[in-house]
A and B are shown apart, each in its own frame.
Chain A
Amino acid sequence: MDIIINISGALCLFIGSFLCISGAIGILRFPDFYTRMHAVGVTDTLGAGMILIGLMFYSPDFLTFSKLVMILLLTLLIGPTTSHVLAKAAMKNGLMPELAKTDHDKNKDKEINSSNS
């Protein structure tokens, strides 16, 4: 029983760390804001969730376990909300995705970049 718990915890931690690193590479390498946000979305929900679930397997008592569950619920509630608001604010202030740009938009985008950065 003990070994099953240990192995499953390690597996969850491994998947979580893999997702975290891939998402971090994504935030560095992807071309524009919206694709980067996709990468962060994956890391923030699934990666963090997997690591927290993996830690739950290791937790020694019930209090630690319940605190981990609380952190997991908070992450699942907060992550998507901030992503949604961020995307909405970016869209509202005229930041266009890379693919949807025409030449006119690109000029406009430069303006936004220079005023935002």
Chain B
Amino acid sequence: MINIVLLTLLVVVAFAIIRMKDLFAVIMLLGIYGLLSASFFVAMDAVDVAFTEAAVGAGISTLLMLVVITMTGRSERTTRHKPLLALLVIIFTGALLIYGTLDMPYFSSADAPIHSHVTPRYINDSMEEIGIPNIVTSVLASYRAFDTFGEVVVIFTAGIGVLALLSVVRHPENNNKITTVNDAMHEQYLIIRIVTKILLPFILLFALYVQFHGDFGPGGGFQAGVIFAAAIILYAMLFGLNTARKVINQSFVQLIAAIGVLLYGCVGVVSLLNGGNFFDYNVLSDDPVTGQHLGILLIEWGVGCTVASVMIIIFFSFAGRREIQLHNKNVSDKDQESSL
């Protein structure tokens, strides 16, 4: 019942997103879409996925898209050509996909392939082999550690890509002018500054709680990293980019991103050197369960560091571009005034 209502709402919001022309409204509806799908995941009892969706889909991606949209302008370009061929291809593919679902096992049927292959082993044995109450974390960080390593490398690569495309050469003599442009929010909104100052330590502390509580409940490195980065981005939005750059040095953040991936990889290499397989944490310590605990703790730290710093890097790169754009605009305005 709850699922049906939520899915209907998801479809309605998706169609509204397609119909909208104003990109700002689209971003807001995407935020609603993220919240809705996260509630859907909670209703389906997939708490960890809901956690990730809440932090990533509704939180950080909205912020990053907002920064991007301030540079590109806020209305969608109207298309002139008729997308008939594309529509035909999509209808054909969609019909094939729906035809494919007819062979799938029924929803929540007990003898579906996914429930009979490795899942019983995870559910029955993970408590003895790994000793962590949250099965999702033990699957993610121990049984499927190699996949997760791939994900972290993908995130790291995304950060490097953004840096390579958008990293800017800053002119030190122009710094003061840029600061005066960027601090608009800082001066006007006194109440929100104070409330943010109260909330920031709480958000950072909560990120650490999520990081360490991932063994026992929903949470883990990905979510914690995103929440940490969201707190830093909030600070940068309110107090200006230069103030945030003074607090968090950008090259230091880049170093942390690399260190996170290295830490993750090194855990695998050390377990290789100790005589086990790659990411076989049993050999990290004398007691296999302690080894598993140590390995999971370390790689969650690696994931958290990389995710947080890559998100901060992406935000800083985009916001830095916008800063320079604003600065150039101001300079050209002044030139026009003086020529008049």
Whether A and B touch directly in their complex, counting CB atoms under 8 A apart, is answered as yes
Residues of A within 8 A of B (CB): 77-78, 81, 84-85, 88, 92, 117
- Structural contact, B199 and A85, CB atoms closer than 8 A: no
Q: Are A85 and B189 in contact (CB under 8 A)?
A: yes
Known: A77-B198, A77-B199. A85 touches B22 (CB 8 A): no
What are 5 A-to-B residue pairs whose CB atoms are below 8 Å?
Answer: A77-B195, A77-B198, A81-B192, A84-B191, A84-B192
Q: Which residues of B contact A78 (CB under 8 A)?
A: 195, 199
Query: Could you tell me the distance between the alpha carbons of A18 and B92 in the complex, rounded to whole angstroms?
Result: 47
How many A-B residue pairs lie within 8 Å, measured between CB atoms?
A: 18
Residue of A nearest to B199 (CB): A77
Complex Cα gap A61–B191 (Å):
35
- The secondary structure that dominates the A interface is helix
Cβ contact within 8 Å between B22 and A81:
no
When chains A and B are docked, how far (Å) is the Cα of A82 from the Cα of B188?
A: 14
B192 CB contacts on chain A under 8 angstroms: 81, 84-85
List of B residues within 8 angstroms of A77 by Cβ:
195, 198-199
Nearest A residue to B24 via CB reads: A116
Q: A residues within 8 A CB of B198?
A: 77
- In the complex, what's the smallest C-beta–C-beta distance from A29 to chain B, in angstroms? 20
Complex interface: chain A residues within 8 A of B199 (CB): 77-78
Measured CA separation A77–B191 after assembly (Å): 11
Within the assembled complex, what's the spacing in Å between the Cα atoms of A92 and B187? 14
Closest to B20 in A: A117
Q: How far is the CA of A14 from the CA of B129 in the complex (A)?
A: 47
Residues A88 and B195 in contact, CB atoms below 8 Å apart: no
Per-residue CB contact flags for chain B residues 172-208 toward chain A (1 = under 8 Å, else 0) read: 0000000000000000110110010011000000000
- CA A81 – CA B192 in complex, angstroms? 6
Least CB distance from A90 to B in Å reads: 13
Complex CA distance for A77 and B196, rounded to whole angstroms: 10
| A88–B195 alpha-carbon span in the complex (Å) | 16
Complex: A117 Cα to B72 Cα, angstroms: 17
- Kindly report which residue of chain B lies nearest to residue A77, judged by CB atoms: B195
Nearest CB of A to B127, in Å:
22
Question: For residue B191, which residues in chain A have a CB less than 8 angstroms away from its CB?
Answer: 81, 84-85
Instruction: Please indicate the chain A residues that have their CB under 8 angstroms from the CB of B189 in the complex.
Output: 85, 88
Q: How far does the alpha carbon of A21 sit from the alpha carbon of B222 in the complex, in Å?
A: 36
> How far, in whole Å, are A78 and B199 apart by their CA atoms in the complex?
9
Q: Would you give the shortest CB distance from B4 to chain A, in whole angstroms?
A: 20
Measured between beta carbons, the chain B residues less than 8 angstroms from A84 are: 191-192
Q: Once the chains are docked, how many angstroms separate the CA of A88 from the CA of B190? A: 11
A117 touches B22 (CB 8 A): yes
- Complex: how many Å from CA A117 to CA B21? 9
Q: A84 to B25: give the CA distance in the assembly, Å.
A: 21
In the assembled complex, the CB of B300 is this many whole angstroms from the nearest CB of chain A, namely 22
Report the bound CA distance from A26 to B245 in whole Å: 43
> Which of B22, B188, B195, B198 gathers the greatest number of chain A CB atoms within 10 Å?
B195
Residue of B nearest to A81 (CB): B195
Query: When chains A and B are docked, how far (Å) is the Cα of A78 from the Cα of B195?
Result: 8
For the complex of A and B, 3 pairs with smallest distance between CB atoms: A81-B195, A85-B192, A84-B191
Q: Report how far A9 CA is from B246 CA in the complex, Å.
A: 49
Complex: chain A residue closest to B198, CB-CB: A77
Contacts of A81 in B (CB 8 A): 191-192, 195
Cα distance, A22 to B221, chains bound together (Å): 40
User: Which B-chain residue is minimally distant from A117 (CB atoms)?
Assistant: B22
Which residues of B lie under 8 Å from residue A117 when comparing CB positions? 22, 25
Q: Please report the C-alpha to C-alpha distance between residue A78 and residue B202 in the assembled complex, in whole angstroms.
A: 13
Within 39-88 of B, Cβ neighbours of A (below 8 Å) are at none
Least Cβ–Cβ distance between A13 and chain B, in angstroms: 17
A117 to B24, CA, bound (A): 9
Nearest A residue to B22 via CB reads: A117
